[in-house]
Amino acid sequence: MNNLISRVIKEIKPLDEEAMGAARNRQNELTKPRGSLGLLEELSIRIAGIRGGMVSSFEHKAVIVMAADHGVVNSGVCLYPQEVTRQMVFNFLDGGAGINVLSRLAGARVVVVDMGVAGGFEPRPDLICKAVGSGTGDMAQGPAMTRQQTLDSIQAGIEVVEGEISRGLDLVATGEMGIGNTTASSAICAAVTGEPVETVTGYGAGLGDEQLAHKVAVIKKALELNDPDPGDPIDVLSKVGGFEIGGLTGVMLGAAAHRIPVVLDGFISGAAALLAAGLEPGMKDYFIAAHLSAESGHGILLKYLGLSPVLNLGMRLGEGTGAALGMAVVEAAVEMLAGMATFAEAGVSRNKRESLS
């Protein structure tokens, strides 16, 4: 572990119980039956604990989209060629991808990061270059990356989110792009949770049954060959992970160290969340699961983390699209707490209040 990562982990503090108590008391006084807003009430209370006090809105939102390539593509686990990762990064930068549309709707900026896309990019002001390498190695033939590359990827994620914090950031969502990254995420999920590979591996970007069976076989081979230690998140990431997954792990740790809620997207973000929580169990309190992905392993890892998804739309696009939608629910939660009148403020009598219960 390097100094930056160790420092950031130490800076992650428990939720503020006093702030949560104040938020809970206000929720109980709002002009509604107690508990009638369901998950919105729970979210508003937990966000108060994260932020250290009640907030009425989020003024500086960002979706951080990290991109990298995976050597396991060479083992035939994907329908799409590796070049699509690079092509999609250009689409993000040009504003034409799904995440661009939904981020505009959410009022969030899109931050695009090259964590290791094959072919690389010419320097441009709208792209952050943190490339650890030109894609990972094929985990079916050996470790995906060295331990140093693994630490470098996590550090890069911390540096990216700290840079965004310096620009103004109070709510962050995680997104990614990388052909082959559902394979890496399935391997991480199986290694950490102990669930069978068949259970946590899905169809990814449109695989058929025979192709899925091959994908499962490749992941089993990678896990047997590399033997990642489930008690060591750095080892798991280095053996069967990806540069963008490491980067997202760093984003999550860095955000939590600054008491910023982390809105998780789908399966790949979830894999990074498993690793971040392995490094610091208190991270779980900072996660908001935006949605339940159609990928079979996603629900398993959310249950492992103790998280309930806010939305269930059958989505599996990635990029941070589900997280961008989830941001709207998060905002609704805090605005209802801050903006709705209490019984006292509204002049509603106690008898009337009790009739609503």
Query: CA-to-CA distance for 261 and 288, rounded, in angstroms?
Result: 7
| Pairing verdict, β 171-177 and 108-116 | unpaired
90 membership: H or E segment, kind and range: helix 83-94
For residue 87, report the phi and psi dihedrals to the nearest 5 degrees.
-65, -40
Angle at 201 between CA 200 and CA 202, to 5 degrees: 120
Other beta carbons within 10 angstroms of residue 242's beta carbon come to: 37
DSSP code of 76? T
Task: Answer yes or no: are the C-beta atoms of 57 and 335 closer than 8 Å.
Answer: yes
Amino acid at 60: H
Q: Which of 162, 280, 295, 319 is catalytic?
A: 319
319 catalytic? Reply is: yes
Looking at 204-313, which runs of residues are DSSP E strands?
262-264, 287-289
Place of tokens 């070049």: 83
Please report how the helices 17-29 and 39-51 are oriented relative to each other, as an axis angle in degrees rounded to 10: 150
Query: CA-to-CA distance for 119 and 117, rounded, in angstroms?
Result: 6
Task: Answer yes or no: are the C-beta atoms of 57 and 65 closer than 8 Å.
Answer: no
DSSP code of 341? P
Token pair recorded at residue 288: 């908001």
Partners of residue 289 on adjacent β-strands = 264
Which residues are annotated as catalytic? 319
